Amino acid sequence: MDRIPWNQYFMAQSHLLSFRSTCTRLAVGATIVRDKRMIAGGYNGSIAGGVHCIDEGCYVIDNHCVRTIHAEMNAILQCAKFGVATEGAEIYVTHFPCLQCSKAIIQAGIKAVYYAKDYKNHPYALEIFEQAGVKIEKVSLNKDIFLTLANDL
């Protein structure tokens, strides 16, 4: 039996996390990894204990749902809440990060962003990632991994 490659393993984790999303517009998952160990995960949804978009609809201002905290931000904040350093870590995201999350990723000291799907890739996000020396790589999820898993169950 072949072992799953690391990039596919962590990307699969991010896709799994996206199934917890409470956003009706786009389900996103993010996994922060350091030294091949998952240190945090996040998905897009409302604040803890708050009203969720799946229950009451999105709260949209200027074409953005202001109720939702993005997956990347939730993962970074989880690290902050529990005192886990993000300096030198990598993040695996189901979709290319928005501009605000891109800035947070840089400020958190994350050194690499792996994403599965293009999503409104902002040119300035690409520019600041390059300025900060953050590696960007598209890693499409190999869906055969899930088919193999389902067959083994």
What sections of 1-143 are H helices per DSSP? 6-18, 53-56, 71-82, 99-107, 123-132
Alpha-carbon gap, residue 24 to 119, rounded angstroms: 16
Alpha-carbon gap, residue 118 to 112, rounded angstroms: 16
Whether 137 is catalytic is: no
Catalytic choice (56, 72, 87, 127): 72
Give the three-class secondary structure for 50. coil
Both tokens of residue 45? 């949804």
The CA–CA distances, whole Å, from 96 to 11, 37, 41 equal 13, 22, 16
| Beta bridge mates, 43 | 29
Task: Catalogue the active-site residues.
Answer: 72
